[in-house]
Amino acid sequence: MQFKKIAFLSILLTLFITGCSDSKVEEEGKTTAEKIQRKTEFNLQKLDGTTITVKKQEENLIFMGLENKVILLNFFTTWCPPCKAEIPHLNNLKDKYPNDIEIIAVSLAQEDGNLPTNDILQTFKEEFNIKYQLVNSAENYELAKEMGGIRTIPTMFLFNPKGELKQKYIGIVPEEMLETDINKELGKK
């Protein structure tokens, strides 16, 4: 009986840590020409109607207007339990580093395969008291492709103030680990 409990808990923990699968963003079946022809500028629509422009420069992503900040790019869905579980950690980081980091949550498909409406995302933001930016547009998928495709959610990317990709996180990540990496990029080790 004890073995069954341990096995069950191990499986549950594995599912929680690895995140949710989001097959709607994968690039399977694309031709080589389609994969090569990628965008170099992405206009991500925030819930308030303004735009965050992201430009690809060589291997870097430049977040226009946020060039002096560490960027945490978070791909999520509203239906994913690990995505919901990480919100308090991201809120804490935004509170600790209000002038040094920007967290941009990039919404992906709902369970029906469609992007959530802005109303759904606004309700989600209010329900979970989210203190960082949420973006919602078809360009979210283009950015996901640029990042190599998002196969598991949540998936986060940490960029230094120069736009250099420094870390990729798959699944829920402890707040302490994120904070250590943020401090490293801020030169605070």
The secondary structure of residue 175, as a DSSP letter, is H
Q: What is the pLDDT of residues 10-38, one digit of tens each?
A: 444 444 445 565 444 444 444 544 444 56
pLDDT by position in tens, the chain (length 189): 554 455 444 444 444 445 565 444 444 444 544 444 567 899 999 999 999 999 998 889 999 999 899 999 999 999 999 999 999 999 999 999 999 999 999 999 877 778 899 999 999 999 999 999 999 998 999 999 999 999 999 999 999 999 999 999 999 999 999 999 999 999 886
Residue 151: CB partners within 8 Å, gap ≥ 6? 21, 22, 23, 25, 26
Per the structure, the count of domains in the chain is: 1
Identify the burial level of 58 via C-beta atoms within 10 angstroms of its C-beta, where 0-12 means exposed, 13-18 middle and 19 or more buried. Answer: exposed
151, 25 Cβ separation under 8 angstroms: yes
Which amino acid is residue 184, in one-letter code? K
Computed on alpha carbons and rounded to an integer, the radius of gyration of the chain in Å comes to 17
Q: Domain containing 93: what range?
A: 2-185
CB contact at 8 A, 51 and 44: yes
Kindly report the backbone phi and psi dihedral angles of residue 79, in degrees, each rounded to the nearest multiple of 5, phi listed first. -100, 0
Say if CB 60 and CB 164 are below 8 A apart: yes
Q: Which residues contact 157 (CB under 8 A, 6 or more apart)?
A: 72, 73, 147, 165, 167, 168, 169
CATH code for the domain in which residue 6 is found: 3.40.30.10
Q: Which residue has the tokens 């829920």?
A: 172
- Cα 23 to the center of its chain, rounded Å: 16
Which 3 state secondary structure label does DSSP give 77?
Answer: coil
- Residue whose C-alpha is closest to residue 91's, from 101, 82, 77, 81: 101
Whole-prediction pTM value? 0.80
